[in-house]
């Protein structure tokens, strides 16, 4: 089995202090996963390697796309397997050096597999950044279309910052006009899964149930009341999707044990 973890770290240096990298190391040591896709790294490449060294993970292969805005965004792939064909950015040049897309290729028993760590804009319904979010989602659409046409295995995972359906947000009625659940955002996901043909592995394996949620606000009783959002995804092309055997949301046992406002999500593939 090949395990791929996706986790929004909420800043790798903060995650290190909260025990996040102890958890990651335990998963790698146990063989639960071989690949870890991080979002919101919020660090330079040197700072990321310092965190990994402190956590006893300096032997990992690393692909990192940091943002030109210091302390902002950032995505990375950590792997016990060799990473090749590393690429950063997706689509238009405006998304270069934004820390939102990094991809790399790993070898599997079924052939090469491209893995992308993705951090979509949170957006704001009333500000220009929302239009930038739409352009990024459009770039992702073209990437998914290309992945569907290819014979090679493809996986994009990360914090997509959109709840696709009512099942994906506890308080969906109160968020109909807010970024993250706007009809225009959700329409991209409809296109991906209904027309392009890539597969939302989380929903496929969970079935028609509420959630399972992957993000809860730090504030109030959201975590304790499980008033969350499912915004962390593993999206596979048709060549890869049948090989996924399990999706596990690593929700902390208590608020005090959280090391991010997101739960890590692990996909396991028979590869």
Dump pLDDT digits (tens) for 193-202: 999 999 999 9
**Percent of residues, the chain, with pLDDT higher than 90:** 98
Q: How confident is the model at residue 53 (pLDDT cuts 50, 70, 90)?
A: very high
- Adjacency order of strands within the sheet including 75-79: 61-65, 75-79, 35-39, 2-8, 265-269, 244-249
End-to-end CA distance of the chain: 6
| Contact between 117 and 39 (Cβ < 8 Å) | yes
- Adjacency order of strands within the sheet including 232-236: 84-88, 101-108, 111-119, 153-159, 232-236, 199-200
Please tell me the predicted confidence (pLDDT) of residue 33: 97
pLDDT in tens, 139-187: 999 999 999 999 899 999 999 999 999 999 999 999 999 999 999 999 9
Structural domains of the chain in order of their starting residue, each with its CATH number: 2-269 (3.60.10.10)
Using DSSP's 3-state secondary structure scheme, residue 203 falls into: helix
| Contact between 73 and 158 (Cβ < 8 Å) | no
In the predicted structure, residue 12 carries a pLDDT above the cut 90: yes
pLDDT in tens, 180-214: 999 999 999 999 999 999 999 999 999 999 999 99
Residues in the chain: 271
What residues contact residue 31 under an 8 Å CB cut-off, 6+ apart? 3
Element (H, E) at 84: strand 84-88
pLDDT in tens, 94-121: 999 999 999 999 999 999 999 999 999 9
């Amino acid at each position: 089995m090949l395990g791929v973890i996706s986790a929004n770290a909420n800043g790798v240096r903060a995650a290190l202090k909260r025990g996040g990298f102890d958890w990651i190391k335990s998963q790698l040591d146990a063989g639960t996963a071989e690949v870890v896709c991080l979002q919101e790294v919020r660090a330079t490449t040197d700072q990321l390697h310092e965190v990994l060294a402190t956590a006893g993970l300096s032997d990992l292969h690393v692909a990192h796309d940091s943002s030109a805005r210091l302390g902002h965004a950032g995505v990375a792939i950590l792997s016990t397997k060799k990473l090749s064909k590393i690429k950063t950015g997706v689509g238009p040049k405006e998304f270069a050096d934004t820390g939102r897309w990094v991809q790399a290729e790993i070898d599997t028993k079924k052939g090469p597999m491209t893995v992308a760590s993705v951090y979509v804009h949170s957006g704001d319904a009333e500000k220009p950044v929302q239009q930038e979010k739409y352009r990024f989602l459009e770039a992702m659409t073209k990437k998914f279309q290309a992945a569907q046409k290819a014979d090679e295995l493809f996986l994009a995972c990360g914090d997509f910052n959109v709840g696709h359906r009512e099942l994906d947000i506890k308080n969906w009625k109160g968020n109909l006009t807010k970024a993250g659940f706007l009809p225009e955002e959700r329409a991209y996901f409809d296109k991906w899964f209904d027309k392009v043909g890539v597969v939302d592995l989380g929903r496929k394996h969970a079935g028609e149930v509420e959630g399972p949620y992957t993000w809860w606000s730090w504030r109030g009783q959201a975590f304790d009341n499980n008033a969350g959002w499912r915004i962390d995804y593993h999206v596979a092309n048709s060549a890869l999707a049948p090989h996924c055997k399990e999706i596990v949301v690593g929700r902390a046992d208590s608020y005090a044990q959280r090391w991010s406002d997101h739960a890590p999500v692990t996909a396991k593939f028979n590869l």
